[in-house]
Amino acid sequence: VIPLESLALRWRDRGLEILDQTLLPDREVWLEAGDPRLMVQHIRRLAVRGAPLIGVAAALALAWYGEMGASAASLVEAAGELRRARPTAVNLMWAMDRMTALLETGAGSAELSLEAAAIFREDVALCDAMARHGVRLFAPGETVLTHCNSGGLATAGIGTALGVIIRGFQAGRVRHVFVDETRPLLQGARLTAWELARLGIPHTLITDSMAAILLRDGRVQRVLVGADRVARNGDFANKVGTYGLAVQARYHGVPFHPVAPWSTVDLACPDGQAIPIEQRDEAEVRGQGDHRWAAAATPAFNPSFDVTPSELVTSLVLDRAVLTGAELRAGGLEQLA
Ligand code: MRU
């Protein structure tokens, strides 16, 4: 076993573990995650989450299963189950396709582990490359706004949008971060605020509905968000609420940038309409157990992601390049392939 460690994943001799993100920020509990069936459950309940990280985690679970002596047929079956664990983030399909392609060549467990480790390390490098490009966007002293969590908890590296923001702070260009709480599962409030606090980056939590006021009042110079799938024409899916934020940013003339690695680009998807959107349990919107605020019978709507048209994108920060909205619509992604 090649030891690997990130903010939310550990792959060591004693196995594969994930940091249970449902318990943050109050408790840091690591869970066993090697068995692919266990990993499917962790991915479904968002104990491990974020587009790039679920691809990396699924690849490592498959590698673990190979190390345990699983047959080629059971590995292919497990890859299929992992692939179907969540439908929107294409990184999961991308990672499983890489592992399955290798299995089809008759690869053994050592090669599977090497491939999973390569997927992990490449993600770290992709994050660094996005951050290098993205930092150039900022003028010194900017205040930025972000939605959901796109940091070290969502990737194997420093993050996508949050990675750019972190490096921007370290370069003296980002002064303050407004964090959308991100209804209904609060990835902003629970996870992004936790990451920023541990790095000592000044931040302020807002409810999603407060962003428009800050944009109107000129208190935010730039909005940066992650992406779960970028279609060929530059439309992209990200955590629900991103589309509304993009509309508000455009109305108020504030630059709006999705940040994504190449593993999030799906050239087979012509436009945003073709991106499958995960629908989650209505109970997440009503609240559950001691934290239920709506009547248990209240019907609720719970799409986990929305699609932002490339028309609202100032520029997309990739590891390979930065493309403006116009470049995206003129086939810029295909040219980069
Ligand atoms: O449902 P989640 O928490 O997995 O959603 C995550 C997001 O929407 C992120 O913004 C996205 O994965 C891209 S950032 C790495």
pLDDT attached to residue 328: 98
pLDDT attached to residue 241: 98
| pLDDT digits 0-9 by tens, 45-100 | 999 999 999 999 999 999 999 999 999 999 999 999 999 999 999 999 999 999 99
| pLDDT digits 0-9 by tens, 101-146 | 999 999 999 999 999 999 999 999 999 999 999 999 999 999 999 9
pLDDT attached to residue 217: 98
Distance CA 311, CA 174 (A): 26
Distance CA 325, CA 311 (A): 6
Indicate the pLDDT class of residue 270, thresholds 50, 70 and 90: very high
Closest atom of ligand 1 relative to the 264 alpha carbon: 13
Angle at CA 295, nearest 5°, toward 293 and 299?
A: 110
Query: Of all protein residues, whose CA lies closest to atom 15 belonging to ligand 1?
Result: 150
* Model confidence, pTM: 0.97
Distance CA 164, CA 146 (A): 11
CA of 276 to the centre of ligand 1 (A): 15
**In this model, does residue 13 exceed pLDDT 90?**
no
Distance CA 327, CA 186 (A): 33
Indicate the pLDDT class of residue 298, thresholds 50, 70 and 90: very high
CA of 114 to the centre of ligand 1 (A): 26
Which residues approach ligand 1 with their CB closer than 6 A? Answer: 46, 49-52, 89, 148, 150, 154-155, 160, 187, 226-228, 238-239, 304
Pocket probe for ligand 1: among 18, 53, 147, 149, the residue whose CB has the most ligand atoms within 8 Å is: 149
| pLDDT digits 0-9 by tens, 140-197 | 999 999 999 999 999 999 999 999 999 999 999 999 999 999 999 999 999 999 999 9
Pocket probe for ligand 1: among 187, 259, 316, the residue whose CB has the most ligand atoms within 8 Å is: 187
CA of 76 to the centre of ligand 1 (A): 26
Query: What's the chain's average pLDDT?
Result: 97
Pocket probe for ligand 1: among 42, 49, 275, the residue whose CB has the most ligand atoms within 8 Å is: 49
pLDDT attached to residue 124: 98
CB 34 within 8 A of CB 16: yes
Nearest to 123 by CA among 150, 88, 144: 150
Percent of the chain with pLDDT over 90: 99
Query: Of all protein residues, whose CA lies closest to atom 6 belonging to ligand 1?
Result: 50
CA of 259 to the centre of ligand 1 (A): 11
Closest atom of ligand 1 relative to the 147 alpha carbon: 10
CB 177 within 8 A of CB 165: yes
Indicate the pLDDT class of residue 24, thresholds 50, 70 and 90: very high
**In this model, does residue 1 exceed pLDDT 90?**
no
Per-residue CA distances from 192 to 2, 13, 99, 251 (Å):
29, 30, 30, 26
- Side-chain-side CA neighbours of 79 within 13 Å: the count stands at 24
Quote the crossing angle between the two packed helices 90-104 and 109-135, to the nearest 10°.
150
Q: Annotated active-site positions, please?
A: 228
CA of 335 to the centre of ligand 1 (A): 26
